[in-house]
Amino acid sequence: MADDNLDRAARNILHANDRGGYTVPNGRVYPFQWNWDSAFVAMGFDRFDRNRSWTELETLFRGQWEDGFLPHIIFWQDDEGYFPGPAVWATGTAPATSGITQPPVAATSLRRLWESAVDAGEAGAYRARLEALFPKVLRWHRWFRDNRDPDERGVAVVVHPWETGRDNAPEWDAPGEPIDTSQVGDYVRRDTSHLDAKMRPTKLEYDRYLALVQFGRDLGWDHARIGRESPFRVADVGMSMILLRANRDLLALAEELGRTEDADELRASIARAEAGIGWLWDETRQTWCSRDLVTGRSSGFITNASFLSFYAGLRDQARDQATIAHIERIGAAVRYLMPSLDPEDPGFQMIRYWRGPVWAVVNLMIATGLSEAGHETLAHRLRDDTRTLIARNGFYEAFNPIDGTGSGGDDFSWTAAVWLAWAGRDA
Angle at the Cα of 18 from the Cα atoms of 12 and 19, rounded to 5 degrees: 150
281-282/287-288 β-pairing: antiparallel
Question: Cβ of residue 126: shortest distance to ligand DGY, in angstroms?
Answer: 30
Which residue, 134 or 162, has its beta carbon nearer to ligand DGY?
162
Q: Are 107 and 59 in contact (CB under 8 A)?
A: no
User: By CB under 6 A, how many residues form the interface with ligand DGY?
Assistant: 4
Question: Cβ of residue 210: shortest distance to ligand DGY, in angstroms?
Answer: 11
Question: Cβ of residue 393: shortest distance to ligand DGY, in angstroms?
Answer: 21
Site for ligand DGY in 69-108 (CB under 6 A): 72
Which residue, 6 or 199, has its beta carbon nearer to ligand DGY?
199
**Closest residue to ligand DGY in the complex (CB):** 162
Residues carrying an active site annotation? 167, 397
Q: Which of 36, 114, 162, 414 binds ligand DGY (CB under 6 A)?
A: 162
Q: Which of 49, 58, 167, 384 binds ligand DGY (CB under 6 A)?
A: 167
Which residue, 114 or 221, has its beta carbon nearer to ligand DGY?
221
Q: State the number of CA atoms in the 13 A half-sphere of 391 facing the CB.
A: 14
Q: Give the other-Cβ count within 10 Å of 215's Cβ.
A: 20
Question: Cβ of residue 1: shortest distance to ligand DGY, in angstroms?
Answer: 28
Which residue, 191 or 342, has its beta carbon nearer to ligand DGY?
191
**Cα–Cα distance for residue pair 413/395, rounded to 1 Å:** 8
Which residue, 167 or 320, has its beta carbon nearer to ligand DGY?
167
Binding mask 217-256 for ligand DGY (x = CB under 6 A): ----------------------------------------
Torsion-angle region of 146 (φ positive above 0: left; ψ -120 to 50: alpha; else: beta): alpha
Question: Cβ of residue 285: shortest distance to ligand DGY, in angstroms?
Answer: 27
What b/e string do you get for 336-356 counting C-beta neighbours within 10 Å, with b at 16 or more?
bbbbbbbbebeebbbbbbbbb
Site for ligand DGY in 184-223 (CB under 6 A): 191
Question: Cβ of residue 294: shortest distance to ligand DGY, in angstroms?
Answer: 23
Which residue, 72 or 375, has its beta carbon nearer to ligand DGY?
72
Show the 3-state SS of 88-120: HHCCCCCCCECCCCCCCCHHHHHHHHHHHHHHC
Which residue, 11 or 160, has its beta carbon nearer to ligand DGY?
160
Q: Are 255 and 115 in contact (CB under 8 A)?
A: no
**What count of residues does the chain have?**
427
Site for ligand DGY in 268-297 (CB under 6 A): none
**Cα–Cα distance for residue pair 409/128, rounded to 1 Å:** 37
CB-based burial label for 173 (10 Å; 0-12, 13-18, 19+):
middle
User: Which residues have a Cβ under 8 Å from the Cβ of 233 and sit 6 or more positions away?
Assistant: 157, 158, 159, 175, 227, 292, 293, 294
Quick check: 114 binds ligand DGY (CB under 6 A)?
A: no
Question: Cβ of residue 366: shortest distance to ligand DGY, in angstroms?
Answer: 20
Residues that bind ligand DGY (CB under 6 A): 72, 162, 167, 191
